[in-house]
Amino acid sequence: MDVWEPLSMRWLMIALLLLLPGVQAAQSDFEFRLDTPADGEADIDPGGDWANLTVELENLNSDQRRFKLTIPNADALSDNGIEVWWSSDGDNDLPGQSRSLEFNLPSNELRSGIRVSVEPRTSALYGSHFIELNCHDLTEGDPDEDRQLQLQIDVSRVVDVTLAPAEGVTGNGSADIGEATTYLLKVTNSGNSQDTFDLEVDGTSSGWEAEMVSDDDEINLDAHASGYVTVEVTAPPDASYSEMLTVQVTARSQLQGTVSMQLELTTHVRVFQGLLLEPLTALGAGGPGDSVVLKFKVTNKWSEEVDFQLARGAWYMGDTPENTPSGWTFSEGGDTLLGGYASTENARATVSIASGADAGDVVTIEVTAQVGDGELAQTTVQVQVEGDYDIQLANEKEGGLPAPASFNIDAEQQLTFATYVQVKNRASVSDTAVITADFTAGGQGWELDVPEGGLDIFLASEAEKGVLVAVRPPADSQGTMATLEITATSVGDPSSTQSVSLTIHVNSLSDGGGSQTENLGQDKQLPVPIEILVGTVLLIGLGVSSVFYLQQRSRKAASSEDQAAYSDEWGAMGEEAANTAGPAAAAAQTTMPAAAPPAPPPGAAAGPVTVACPGCQTQLQIADTQRPLTVKCPTCATPLTLQAQPGAAPPAAPPPPPAAPPAAPPAAPPATPPTNAAAGPVTVACPGCQTQLQITDTRRPLTVACPGCQTQLKLT
């Protein structure tokens, strides 16, 4: 019988046994494949964005199976700066960072999008890293139950180096004359691949020597590893005390020659009882009355320990050495023991700021340190005065009375806001307010008058001043309006700022004035009480008829209830009174309706008068009794003339114009005031700061400057 026959029979029997029920072993059949990217590779940068790669699993069995996915080499990758975990099972994102994953997969089903996330830390090493993935069929008794995949991660290269003095070593040393000192330096490979670094020293001069010790001109380091090198600096034999040398040590990568780092080392020739003094608080700050602590670093340039003391040299305010601060004090630092070549950062001195110091003041202080008769060390620091700045801008008149935010004026009429907008300093320290103004609506072609160079207003604590800003609309602006915004900003603290918004209406030819606005145009409600204005006009000498005419204008603008307050008490003035007042009054009488008010009370006499400027409404206090008298408004330069009263010697008048017949018989003239008025001192309120100026000089013309704000005031 053929030798192969027994073997053939044996295999046949095995096949028959396998066909018998319950004898066949279970088979595990599934596919574990790459999904995206198709090649399973990704590039990452150290410390950069994550990479996400996916795989898929297909169950080729006729029954549901449970599978377990793992990353066997996750710990090894973590040691290389790469964190890897399962972040999705293909259906849902997974919480945390799991390195294993289990799920059920029905028969003949494909599951895609099973995601692996990769996070590169800053310490990720350069090169290719392989992520091992394993899929295990958890069905018991399967002979073929594992599949493996491999993902590839390529980390980009980073080349970097760090050079610094070793722990406990400073870059500031000392040496005896003709002797050497050494510096231990730490070199760190901050890149993510192995590199070799060249060390070199440069900057020697005047007989000094500096070099790398032994073979320290080159060092090889693994990624993120550190090593140490030594630099030796030798002072020349003819060096003098206090002489020093600064050299530069460079570490340069051999992988990438453009990558390097430089370190400076300064060596001092030892100085007998010598010190280095450096400010750690170059600029101190505090409020009035505060104490400011100044900190300094002191280095001993001598080989033996010393006692030193901080002291004050010259000090001055601002940029003027002769301007010694008043009320400030400097407390010297106490004696401090300092070892040879050692340094301390605990040296202190205290400066007390004067309680009356102004915010923004700066005091420059020369601070010295000296040991015995040794070398004097000196440095300069500054202390600045700070405060809780609070600049406010209010739409109100002097004294806190509310002021209008809306105004009516005629075209080409100037409107000044000095009496309507007040700037205030509510801080405990003085300050300067910077005033700016701009139109936020309208204003095309308008004149905006802000003092040349801007408006800076100095304010003591709790002081208030009017804002000298004015506007003038052009001739063709009738019926238009503009919105002006005025802003005040603190110089001490630019964040302290406030604004007010003002609306200016330009009268049209038919306007009649509104109750909600400050009306400054012709035939409109006057901004001052009519009784004061009528009396003022009478004193100026415009004549009885003009008084009557102004009274009628006021009555025209007033409501029916207001009219009762203004009786025709001056209506009895007639032609004789008009002639006595002057030709101009007589001429005006012919164009106005006649009335018969009673005569004014007797006894009116020339004396001090308060007049509202017709151009800007500034209140002018005039004590000079001389008549006639002409003054110019210091705010808007409008001329204002005060004529002699009836009964006084009148000035020569120009010929009167032709007069029309009077509309009614003139009334009797008012009582004649005393005629003993004489020239004398004048008291005028400055419109800029309200300072009362007493002017005894009777010469005219005369120009004086306000001592409070330097406003020029002219009397003619």
Query: Are 30-155 and 275-385 equal in CATH topology?
Result: yes
Q: Is the pLDDT of residue 88 over 80?
A: yes
The C-alpha atoms of residue 261 and residue 558 are separated, in whole angstroms, by 86
pLDDT tens-digit series, residues 649-661: 444 444 555 444 4
- Report percent pLDDT > 90 for the chain: 37
- pLDDT recorded at residue 635: 74
pLDDT tens-digit series, residues 677-716: 445 677 777 776 777 777 777 777 777 777 766 677 777 6
The C-alpha atoms of residue 245 and residue 242 are separated, in whole angstroms, by 10
- pLDDT recorded at residue 483: 94
- pLDDT recorded at residue 342: 84
Q: Is the pLDDT of residue 419 over 50?
A: yes
Only one residue has tokens 């002018």, namely: 620
pLDDT tens-digit series, residues 280-328: 988 988 888 899 999 999 988 887 888 888 899 899 998 888 899 989 9
Q: Is the pLDDT of residue 240 over 80?
A: yes
The C-alpha atoms of residue 380 and residue 711 are separated, in whole angstroms, by 40
Most confident of 8-12, 310-314, 457-461: 310-314
- pLDDT recorded at residue 602: 42
Helix (H, G, I), strand (E, B) or coil at 712: strand
Measured in whole angstroms, the distance separating CA 145 from the mean position of its chain's CA atoms is 69
The model's pTM: 0.41
- pLDDT recorded at residue 558: 37
- Report percent pLDDT > 70 for the chain: 75
Q: Is the pLDDT of residue 639 over 80?
A: no
Beta bridge partners of 394: 422
DSSP result, 306-330: EEEEEEEEEEEETT-TT---SS-EE
**Residue of 128, 116, 138 lying closest to 56 (CA atoms):** 116
275-385 CATH = 2.60.40.10
If pLDDT is split at 50, 70 and 90, which confidence band does 671 have? Answer: very low
Stretch 479-502: mean pLDDT: 88
Kindly indicate whether the domain formed by 30-155 is annotated with CATH number 2.60.40.10.
yes
What residue spans of 103-175 are helical by DSSP H? none
Stretch 639-648: mean pLDDT: 64
Stretch 369-381: mean pLDDT: 86
Least confidently predicted of 230-234, 352-356, 398-402, 526-530: 526-530
Strands in 203-243 per DSSP E? 209-212, 218-221, 226-234
Hey, what CATH topology would domain 161-269 get? Answer: Immunoglobulin-like (2.60.40)
- pLDDT recorded at residue 667: 42
pLDDT tens-digit series, residues 141-170: 766 688 999 999 999 999 999 999 999 998
- pLDDT recorded at residue 607: 67
Q: Where are the domains of the chain?
A: 30-155, 161-269, 275-385, 391-519, 530-715
Evaluated on CA atoms 88, 93, 98, 102, the torsion sign reads negative
Expressed in angstroms, the distance from the first to the final Cα of the chain is: 156
- pLDDT recorded at residue 462: 82
391-519 CATH = 2.60.40.10
Q: Is the pLDDT of residue 554 over 70?
A: no
pLDDT tens-digit series, residues 426-449: 887 778 888 988 899 988 889 898
